[in-house]
Structure 1
Amino acid sequence: MTLPAGWHARRPTPDDVPAILAVVHAADTFAIGYPDFDAEDVRGALTAPNVDPDRDSWVVTDPDGTLVAWAILQNETGTGREFVDVFVDPDRGASVRAPLLARQLDRVAGRAAERGLSAMTVRCPACPPERRWAAELTDAGFGFVKRYQLMRRSLAGVPGEPPAPPPGVTVRPLRPGDEAELRDFHRIYDTAFRDTPDYEPVGYDRWRARIKSDPAWDEWFLAEVDGQPAGVLQSSDQALDRNEGWVRVLAVLPGQRRRGVGAALLNHAFARYVEKGRESVGLGVDLANPTAPLSLYRSVGLREVRWVDMYELVVPAAGV
């Protein structure tokens, strides 16, 4: 699939970051109503593990020379499925989204061959306003695989002290300097998600290496039941530009579920966000997760605000 006459595709350079960010902001505003990326996110995507921008990314300029589209592959672990994002300025670049997708699928086929695989699975997201994009994914052979639900609540009126947890349950901030406690955190996270269909296990050393050097450790929590580690909560700074706390991970061991551990962890996180002056809190829910506790999230005031659909395609390796 070719680009329109006068349009050009090339590999991105570090100097393109501001123009790429402008495209991503326009794409995000159209898809979800607000920008959800910053310049460091762009740089991070271009320098992420298992990404070579000279092979795995494209930008497109229109006949005026304006950058209007950016495509990037993602696969932090270097194993399992690939993720493709194709961002376009909705007013100027919509016509090049499908051609860029075709180029990225060719690259996935090449990456599969390089890894000695017969095929690789690739996924692409689509938000409700992106009806044309969803149709283009379907035309390319993708099928709907699952939906992610975003939930959010205002923190207005939430006290700075969390309510008392159920008897036997205690919650405290994680001690990041305690190696054994970090291993407990990872063990609980890993065990809790083993019954999730799409979960790709990551060993402790790789998990630890992926944590940025200075996260807000005071927003990470460990819950115990009768003195034994039972659940964990990890926050993220991905929504700070909206002054929003973000729950990235909530995990409770299977044998400790339905005992109030999850709600206690969430209440402690909410109180910490209030203490820091955050105005709201959000999180994402994989609705394909058999343990996705929507009733738990609703019980602490979170409400559904939007969703993202995920589409999937199996791409044969080049030469197969």
Structure 2
Amino acid sequence: MSYVLRPATLADAPAVTDLLNAIDLIEIGRPETDLHTVEADLKHPEVDLAQDSWLVFDGDRLVAYGLLWDESGGERVDVDHYVLPDHQEAGRLVFDALEARAVRKAHDNGVTRAVVHLHLNVRPTLDTGLIRARGWSVVRRYHVLRRSLDPAADLAPALPDGVLVRPCATEADRLRVHELYQSTFAEHFDFQPRGYEPWLHDIDAGGLDWSLVWIAGTHDLGDAGFLLARDDREAMGWIRSIGVLPEARGRGLAGLLLRHAFAAFAARGRDQVGLGVDTANATGAPELYARHGMTVHYAVDTWEAVLR
């Protein structure tokens, strides 16, 4: 079989979306990739499409896709890799290219190795034997959770005495959410510190409805937690991030923010809400989500390779 490998352009976003939805259908049973999400990835200012993206075609059919980005400025590099199950050789071509680019990135960053991370469904269309043979291994597991919503039952919760929740309404509020994000996620696996402007690109702020972002606090501690959600996914409402400062944990702020998000999505007519969680999260997040009725939709593994 003869494949054609080339970089992606923004004009390829619809074809990439179709490929990812075909893979979604195989891996999780339904398509859940939106065009604007793919476009945001391709437009990210830290991605040079000419060097950091790869498409593989079998004739006119797109059968594999890869993307690389570098948030660390050091040795940590992230990649995406997608391939249809009957085109594993095309997947190998993408791995050849992205591994070589990751090594060049690390060299340009002044370090001696690239520590590369890739997220794959636990039952991926990729033959994982291909990457195990290249030295990749699983280092973490995440769950994508979901919960059904009922507008009659999922109502905005009453605020306990001494607790405040406000919407993210001003630029000062956005800056505060960024600060809280950096502080509450600092000890999480794979966290990369980000300045305000890069963080805005990371969360695709241009397409974000800021009325679905809340800040929670207490009279004694001030602003102590946040929840950032978005309503631009076709499959379900999505809670992208939720965090509470260590000194404020145990006061119910995270659960309160969750219930605010459930109520907001239910009022908008959404019938499901989802989020992703690290199964080894040490803050008790998996247990919190289970107590609030969230169940596993599918699981994703983080694969790692150390390239010198």
TM-score, with length taken from structure 2: 0.90
User: For structure 2, which runs of at least 5 residues remain unmatched after alignment?
Assistant: none
Percent identity of paired positions between Structure 1 and Structure 2: 32
Q: 1:185 to 1:48 in 2, by over 3 A?
A: closer
Deviations 1:53-80 (A, max 9, x none): 2222221122x44222112112356555
2:23 maps to 1:27: yes
Q: Does 1:307 align with 2:299?
A: yes
Match of residue 142 from structure 1: 136
Structure 1 213/6 Cα, relative in aligned 2: closer, same or farther at 3 Å? closer
| Greater Cα radius of gyration, structure 1 or 2 | 1
Match of 2:266 in 1: 274
One-letter amino acid of the structure 1 residue matched with residue 188 of structure 2 = T
Check whether the contact 2:149–2:266 (CA below 8 A) recurs between aligned residues.
yes
| Cα distance in structure 2, aligned partners of 1:74 and 1:307 | 23
Tell me the amino acid that sits aligned with residue 39 of structure 2.
R
Give a deviation string over 1:146-183, Cα, whole Å, max 9, x none: 00111111002553532323332222222224x1x333
Q: 1:54 corresponds to which residue?
A: 50
Aligned alpha-carbon RMSD (Å):
2.2
**1:230 Cα deviation (Å)?**
1.6
Cα 1:183–1:59, aligned 2, differ >3 Å: closer, same or farther?
Answer: closer
Tell me if 1:85 matches 2:80. yes
**CA displacement at 1:235 relative to structure 2:** 0.6
**Aligned position for 2:110:** 116
Residues 139-288 of structure 1 mapped to structure 2, 5 A cutoff: 139-156=133-150, 158-159=152-153, 161-177=155-171, 179=172, 181-208=173-200, 210=202, 211-213=204-206, 215-226=208-219, 228-237=222-231, 240-242=233-235, 244-288=236-280
Number of equivalent positions: 306
Relative to structure 1, the CA distance from residue 31 to residue 156 in structure 2 (aligned partners, 3 Å threshold; closer, same or farther) is same
**Alpha-carbon spacing, 1:108–1:74, altered in 2? closer, same or farther (3 Å):** same
**How do residues 86-101 of structure 1 correspond to structure 2 at under 5 angstroms?**
86-90=81-85, 92-101=86-95
Query: Structure 1-normalised TM-score?
Result: 0.87
Question: Which consecutive segments of 4 or more residues in structure 1 shift more than 4 A?
Answer: 76-80, 208-211
Change (3 A) 1:209 1:99: closer
Cα pair 2:180 2:224 within 8 Å, conserved: yes
